[in-house]
Amino acid sequence: MKKHPLYIIKAGGHLIDDEQQLQLLLDNFAKLPCHNAEGQPVRKILIHGGGKLATRLAEQLGIKQELVEGRRITDAETLKIVTMVYAGYINKNIVATLQALHCNAIGLCGADGNLIQAHKRIHPKIDYGWVGDVDKVNTQLLETLLESTVTPVIAPMTHDQEGHLLNTNADTIAQTIAVSLSARYEVKLVYTFEKEGVLLDFNNEASVIASINSEQFNTLKAEQKIVAGMIPKLENAFTALEQGVNTVIIGKAEKLAKLLEGQAGTTLTHA
């Protein structure tokens, strides 16, 4: 049997902070057709990041945000805030908005239904605190929901099966879920953000690279033509492609339909 299509959409950080942009993405997401040209059902999942709300709330509460080598440390108080903002405020507001758009969304974090098992990050030098590295995705729960035409909306948190929630990178969650569901579905993974795609010139939105393979990525990286923030995103995206995800695309959130058709953004290709 031919695998049915599944769209996994990652909504990037800055989007979450911009009410209008987020609304536009959710409109487009809700409107995605339920069937493709061949009449197959099309399933979808939305994965969202955190944005700046958590940082702002921490500031308001006077909770110091500790950075070690440029990375934020998730201490117990920060974890509490992240749980409130990511799994509570952002997740549930996205769900309520999608429900109003007749998309039957369900909000989940990685602890719900044992969705994403992880472990606290082990690092020889830095204690990242309550940060999780993903071990395993419970694909059965996602399949049950998807086949009931329920649309999962996933917050960037996991758990360690010992009672601890863990703050986890949303791009990594998108990649891991996409890889895990590739056995069952023909997965298109789309990382949306505020840029047109991978740009050759950061300041020129017209310089978007239509397609890129990992060799080209490595060359551009060596030539320092790809900005720092894009590197982990692209590494995540290439991992997804190499581990069996059919199509991986990076591009501008408001062009969601075009991105899925390969008519906008950057498509990752095999070397």
DSSP string of 106-171, one letter each residue: EEE-TTGGG-EEEEE---SS---BSBEEEEEE-HHHHHHHHHTT-EEEE-SEEE-SSS-EEE--HH
Is the distance from CB of 168 to CB of 232 less than 8 angstroms?
no
When binding is defined by CB under 8 A, the residue of 25, 46, 58, 111 that contacts a second copy is 111
Amino acid at the residue 245: V
Is the distance from CB of 74 to CB of 129 less than 8 angstroms?
yes
Is the distance from CB of 86 to CB of 126 less than 8 angstroms?
no
User: For residue 41, how many other CB atoms are within 10 A of its CB?
Assistant: 14
Phi and psi at residue 211, to the nearest 5°: -145, 150
Task: Give yes or no for residue 130 binding a second copy (CB under 8 A).
Answer: no
In the bound state with a second copy, the residue whose beta carbon lies nearer, of 155 and 248, is 155
In the bound state with a second copy, the residue whose beta carbon lies nearer, of 160 and 194, is 160
When binding is defined by CB under 8 A, the residue of 40, 65, 114, 269 that contacts a second copy is 114
When binding is defined by CB under 8 A, the residue of 11, 108, 212, 245 that contacts a second copy is 108
CA dihedral (261, 265, 266, 268) in degrees, to 10, reads -30
Binding mask 217-236 for a second copy (x = CB under 8 A): --------------------
Give the neighbor-by-neighbor strand order of the sheet with 247-252.
Answer: 105-108, 151-154, 43-48, 4-11, 185-193, 247-252, 266-269, 211-213
Is the distance from CB of 8 to CB of 174 less than 8 angstroms?
yes
Binding mask 42-81 for a second copy (x = CB under 8 A): ------------------xx------------------x-
When binding is defined by CB under 8 A, the residue of 68, 96, 126, 200 that contacts a second copy is 96
Strands 105-108 vs 71-72: parallel, antiparallel or unpaired: unpaired
When binding is defined by CB under 8 A, the residue of 28, 49, 112, 237 that contacts a second copy is 112
Question: CB of residue 56 vs a second copy: minimum separation in angstroms?
Answer: 11
Question: CB of residue 189 vs a second copy: minimum separation in angstroms?
Answer: 24
User: For residue 212, how many other CB atoms are within 10 A of its CB?
Assistant: 22
Contacting a second copy within 146-165 (CB under 8 A): 148, 150, 157, 159, 161-165
Task: Give yes or no for residue 89 binding a second copy (CB under 8 A).
Answer: yes
Applying CB under 8 A, what is the total number of residues that bind a second copy?
A: 39
In the bound state with a second copy, the residue whose beta carbon lies nearer, of 5 and 107, is 107
List residues binding a second copy (CB under 8 A): 60-61, 80, 83-89, 91-93, 95-97, 99-100, 104-109, 111-114, 141, 144, 148, 150, 157, 159, 161-165
